[in-house]
Amino acid sequence: MLKKIVVATLVVCLASALLSVGVQAEKTTIRFWSNVPSDNVVTWWDEQIQIYEKEYPEVEVKAEFLDGDSLKTKLEAALAAGTEPDLFFTLPGARYEEYVKAGLLLPLDGLLDADRFSDGAIKGVTVNGKIQSMPLNVNPCVIWTNNGLFETVGIDPPYQPTWSEFLDITGKIKAADYIPIALGNGAQWTGLFYYWALNTRLGGSEAVRDALSREGSFLDASFIRAGEYAQELAKADAFPIGFNGIDYQFGNGLFVNSEAAMIYMGPWLMGVVASQAPEDFQLGYMRFPTLPDGKPGAETAIMGGMSVIAVSARTENADAAIDFLNLFASDVERAADFVNRTGMLSPLKGIPIPDPPTLSFRLVKEFDGSSDVYNWWDQFLPPSISQQLLDLSQPLLASEITPLEFAEKMEKATTDHLAREAG
C-alpha cells in the first residue's frame, strides 16, 4: 500500500512540474520597435523593460531599436504586410493620420491614463476625437553649441543672434580652422531643418499650413526667400565639405568630437553628447537667429515635433501592451530619469524639476515660452509632398536649383497630390 502511495505521489509531483513548465511556456510576448537617437535611450528602455517584466512576470518584451530612417522604412513595410509589432514608435503628422484612417492604430480612450499627460500632448495625439497613441516626448529644436570650442575661438554664444551676427560667428569659427555647423545631409531632413526654420521666421508657421490648404501657395515670398537664406548659409561654408554625402550619425560625430562648433538638432542631441562626447564637453545652446525681414512675432517660434508610442490595432496582446504604456505613465521619478539621462523631454505632469535646473529642464522653459511650436514639415505634409521636399534638400543647399525652382516643384507636388485626393 505504501508503495502505491509513493508512486501516486510521484505521479502527482511530476504532473505538477509538467503543468508548471507548460504555464511558463505560454508566457505572453509583446514586440516593441523604437528609434535609437543615442545609446542612453537604449539603456533606459532596457531598464524600463526589466521593471515591466518584474511587475508582469507572465509577459516578455522583445524590443528592437533602429535609427529613425530604418525604423520608418521597416515599419511601413510591416504595416503593409500586417506584421507590425504590438507597440511602435512613430511621429504625429500626415502619415500618422493615414494610419488612423486605415484603422491601423488602437484607440486608447479609457485605456491609457491620459490625465497624467499635459493637455497639449494629448491634443497632439488625438485624431477624430480619439487618443491614438501615448505621448512619449516633445522635441524643441535649438542650435547646440560646443561652449569649450567657442571659448577657444574667443566667442561668447549669444542667446539668440541676428542673422548677421550668426554669419559673423560662422566666419570666425571657419577662420579658426573649425567647422562652423555640423551637418550630415545624407539623411535629407537634417538640412531641411534650416529651410523650415527660416521660412517660419519669414512667414510664421501658418505659411506652410496655408500652402497646403490652398489659402496660400508654395510660390509665396517666404518660401523663395527662405531658400535664398539657406543657400547664403551654405555658400558661407558654414557646413562641412561634402555635407550632402555625410550621414546623420557622422554629422553628429563632428560635433561631439569638437570638429564643429554648432549643430541644429532636437533635445536627443543631449543624449548623444552624454554617451559619446568627452566628460569635459561643455554643451550649451542658442535660439535660431532672427531675420531682418522676419514676420513680427515669429522670432520666438520654435520647431518641435512630438514622438509617440502607438499600439497596433491588430495586436493579440492589447492588455499587456496597455500595461506597458501605463507603467511608463505612472512613475514621474522614472520620467525625470528619462529626461536627465536621455535628454528627451517628457510631457508627463508633475515631473520634479531639479534646482538649479539641468540643461534639459532649461529647454522645457524655451518650449513653454515660445510664441508658436511647429511640427517638422516632413511629418506634417502628406507623404507624396513630403518626399518631394526631402528630394529637394540636397540640390537646394548645393545651389543646384534656385529657390524659385524649389518652390515651383513644391507647388506642383501639392497640386498633384490634391488632384489625386479629389479623384
- pLDDT tens for each residue of 188-244: 999 999 999 999 999 999 999 999 999 999 999 999 999 999 999 999 999 999 999
Residue 181 lies in a domain: yes
Would you give the distance in Å from CA 40 to the centre of its chain?
A: 15
pLDDT at residue 33 in the model:
98
How would you list the strands of the sheet with 306-311, edge to edge?
59-66, 28-35, 87-90, 306-311, 134-138
Whether residues 175 and 284 share a domain: the answer is yes
Its domain, for residue 202, covers 142-303+381-422
Within-domain flag for 370: no
pLDDT at 2: 39
pLDDT at position 384 is 95
Instruction: Out of 336, 365, 394, pick the residue that ends a domain.
Output: 365
Q: Which residues pair with 308 in a beta bridge?
A: 90, 135
The DSSP call for residue 287 is: P
Whether 211 is covered by a domain: the verdict is yes
The answer to whether residues 150 and 207 belong to one domain is: yes
Q: Are residues 325 and 392 in the same domain?
A: no
Asked if residue 225 and residue 153 are part of one domain, the reply reads: yes
CATH number at residue 87: 3.40.190.10
Tens digits of residue pLDDT in 1-41: 434 444 444 444 444 544 444 445 589 999 999 998 888 88
Smallest Cα–Cα separation from 267: which of 412, 139, 120? 139
Gap between the Cα atoms of 339 and 347, Å rounded: 10
Summarised one tens digit per residue, pLDDT across range 119-152 is: 888 988 999 999 999 999 888 899 999 999 999 9
What percent of the chain clears pLDDT 90, i.e. is strictly above it? 74
Kind and range of the H or E run holding 28: strand 28-35
Q: pLDDT digits over 356-405, tens only? A: 888 888 887 777 777 788 899 999 999 999 999 999 999 999 999 999 99
Residue 380, pLDDT score? 92
User: Does the residue 108 lie in any domain?
Assistant: yes
3-state SS, residue 286: strand
Is residue 16 in some structural domain? Answer: no
Ramachandran region of residue 371, left (φ > 0), alpha (ψ -120 to 50) or beta?
Answer: alpha
State the Cα torsion 376-377-383-385 to the nearest 10°. -170
Count the domains in the chain: 2
Q: Between 345 and 111, whose confidence is greater?
A: 111
Give the integer Cα–Cα distance in Å for 227 and 379.
Answer: 20
> What are residue 179's DSSP bridge partners?
260
As a whole number, mean pLDDT of residues 75-92 equals: 96
Q: Is 267 within 8 Å of 361 (Cβ atoms)? A: no
